[in-house]
Structures are given as C-alpha cells and as structure tokens.
Chain A
Amino acid sequence: MPRVGEDLRQYLQAEAMPHVWCPGCGHGQVARGLATALDRLALPLEQLVLVGGIGCSGRTPFYFNANAMHTTHGRALAFATGLKLTRPGLTVITTMGDGDTAAIGGNHFIHACRRNIDITAIVFNNGIYGMTGGQQAPTTPRGARSVTTPLGSIEPAFDIVQLALAAGATYVARSTTFDFDELPTLIVDAVRHPGFAVVEVLTQCPTYYGRLNELGDAVAMLDYERDLTLPQHAITKEGLAGRRPLGVFRREVAPEYTAQYAELCARQAKAS
C-alpha cells in the first residue's frame, strides 16, 4: 500500500502539468505506481532515464523529474538499448503502449526480450489506440469494438505476457490499475532484476474503449479489470475460466547483455 501522506511530488515535474491524459484514464495510476516505486528504490533521479514511445503512455517521461527521452512510435526499446550499452550505470525504464509494444514495435520488443539487456519495460495496455482516437490495437479482444472495428474485432489479441515469455524475457509480470497497491512492488522488482524485465499493466481507457464497448465510467472499468483477471494465488482447480492471470510469471537470472559485453571487451583487451 502507498503510505498515507506519502509525498510523491518530488518525483513529478510540475512544469509539465497539466498532463495530456483524459479524466479517468488509468495512465495516471500507472504513473503513480512508478513514482511510488522510485520512492522505494531511492535512485538518484539524474541517473535514471525514462524512455517513452508514442501515444498516451509515451508522454509519461515528461511528467517525471528524471531524464526523459520521448522517442518514436514503437521504438523506445531500440533507443534504450543504445543508451544502456553506452552507459550501463544508468537505470533505464521504458514506458510504452500496447500498440508501441505489440504492433509497430513488435520486432524491437521481442529482440529486447531475447537479448536480456538490463532495461525495464512498463507496458500500458488499454486495448486500444487512445491518442489517435480509439482505433483497434493488437491487444483489442476479439469481438470488441473500436472506431476501426465498428462491428467488433475479428482478430485474436496478443497476450503480451505470453509474447515476452516466448521471446525470452527473464522477468515477466502483469498487474492492473485496479491492483494499484501491487504495481509499485512489481516495478521495484523489475528494476532490481538484472536483465530485461517486462511489467504489463492493464489500464482503463474510459474515453474510447469504455465508451465504444459500453463498459461505463472509469470506476466501472476498474471493476471490469478486476473481473477480467485473476491473481495467480487465487487460481483454483477450475483454472482461469477465461480470466487473465496476474503476478510474476518468470524471474530467472541469465547472462545479461551489458555485463557480457564488458567481459568480452576485457577479454579482448587482455589478449592484445
């Protein structure tokens, strides 16, 4: 639980307010989760770089008092990879949307998972393209409406956790904006993990996804998130029954990219 009276303002950039997010948007809750995590991690903010993609989630770095790199659509991880390799001492966290991660940046995402470079990817998944006005995303569930699937989507959705697991990410977790007290714990975990870490957060978009699919307001959508998911410890012998599991799916220590690269350089320098 966030502590009562906890002051997270020191992590936020007042100059960048007001933010672009709609009333009721879940992204503010994810940002709060990140700020709480930063408070617990006690990192020097000048040694932290938040790298954003494009879309509502991509704006997140602007609102923090850390270094912010707002990149291109889908490619935050490719920028972050070059930066982290050059400055392994920096803490690098990407904020990307579901379109960033699984559509236009799908290639960068799977390769970042495969390389196991020490970057934390926070994936804001609201199942829709918010900034451009409610188009179908690769995470839009089959049957769901968007402005480009007015009759309901006929495509199966990507499961970002499964995608990350299959591609080799060494830390993979999922949470929701309903589980706001668990999210900072997962982010702290992910940042401390010595390798590539993915935290998918299901977040509500009442403006588009909620309205187009008649899910009600932001509070009603939080209930919808609760009913759509199941913490792993609550899974019974009946199984998931169509719900999405939450929690940590993998935490595995494997050779990390920048550490391996440093070893390789040291070996070559010694040989010559």
Chain B
Amino acid sequence: MIRCERLTYVYGRGTPLEVQALTDISMTIGAREIVGIIGATGSGKSTLVQHFNGLLRPTRGRVLLDDVDIFAPRVDRRRIRQQIGLLFQYPEEQLFEETVLADVAFGPRNLGLPEDEAHARARRALEQVGLPPDRFGSRSPFALSGGEMRRAAIAGVLAMEPRMLILDEPTAGLDPKGRRDLLDHIRRLHRDHALAVVLITHSMDAVAQLCERLLVLDQGRLVADGPTRAVFADVSRLTALRLGLPQVTLLARRLRERGLPVRPDVLNVEEARVAIREALAVRGRGPL
C-alpha cells in the first residue's frame, strides 16, 4: 500500500542547521498490516510517517501510495490525507468543537459530505473507539477524561474513513486502564475494520502485544525490518540502539542465563507462562 524508495529527508536544507533526518529508506507496508516503528528519541520515526501522507516531501527518493508517487503532478494530496490518517502526539490538544459529535464530524464535513452523512460517519467512528454516540456525542470534548479525549481525537481521523491509521505515541500520559482500552481498540480496528495500522511508541510491551512486524530506526536509517519476534531476538543490537525488550522477554533471557532452559523469544504473559512451566518440567526430569 505504502512504499518508500530510497527516501532521504533533510531538514533546513542549505542552512547552517541542516540535519539529515532520514537516509535512504526503502520499505513497504501492506494494506492489512499492523506495524510498529521503534527507535531512540530523534531517530526519525515521526519524520518518516509524515512522508506517508504527504505532509513532508522527500528531499530525495519517492513515497508511493498504491504504486503512485504521492508528489507526482496532478495527484490530489487531500485525498491522500483522507486515506492515510495520521495522529500526532497528544492529539486531544486539537479538539475544539462544542460537542464531541461536531468535533468528530468536522473532518468529513470538510470533505464536502452532506451534514447527515458527516454525522453518520462521526457516530460510526465514535462507536468504533468505544464512545457510544448516544452517551458521549452531545458532551463537550473538554469534559471527557484523558483517555476518552484521546479516543475522541482518533474517532475524528476514523470518520475520514482512512485505509491506514498512523499513531504517534498514542498512550503517552494515559493511566493503565486508559492505555489498555486504547490498545484494545486499536487491535480491534485492525482486526474488524481491515485498517492498516502503524504504531510509533517507546513501549516495547505495547509493540510486543500488538504488532506483527517491527521497523527499527537509528539516526535516520532503517536498521531492522522483520517479524516482531525476530527483531526482539537481537538483544545486543536493541540495547545499543537505546531500546530494550518487553518485560517478559527480558525475564526469559535472564532465566536462561541462570540455566533454566526457557524459550527466549516469548512476547507476552501467556507465552512466558507456558515457556516457564515447560522449562521447569524439563529441569524436574533432567540431571539437575
């Protein structure tokens, strides 16, 4: 669906503050994928995704949506921004309407849809993020809790009916319940609504639970691209890149160092539970 070909981006080109933010990135993201982008602060994650919907224009290389260069002449970039929904950090700071429903309907109305269609879309989007419109639609967005405001902002993007949803640190600042609810909704959107999802986060636990594939950025370069389990297998590299492992994966590795033969590539509590039980059973029968 999205393809980057040798994408390079330079901020402040021709000024003394010129910084090469992305270097020679080539990769594709398919229409049904759920992909995590991880990397240290300043590694280029947010810069990369702003190319996916044409907010930034490559300095060199190309970005293609369905095999069409999004900066080719006569490409309607408003249509691209409708198809590729991008949520920045703290998107709730951009809520502004008097009611939740009006706020969520703002995007579709702006697309030129008639009022009743815009409202129908807004209601569907609110339903999708777990804010039933009958209960939440007429409230002020500013009277919602932090997690609810975040989900209302996501509904605003979903109401555009995008094919891909890009979320930049969507759980930052949310309490544990708000975080879990939001991640569950993202998982469901991907599964039930055939939405491609790109998740930028510092939470290794979140990508382990949600993403099938990880892209790893380091100083503007794509240094790893593969299935989540495979990426987390290269521990020394991740540590060198200022990243880490999910808690349960870290535990499995520490247990192995102590001689308990636990499978080292577990990604969640359930996998860790099974792996530890099996390892204890093996040790119970073995010479130790």
Do A and B pair up? The answer is: no
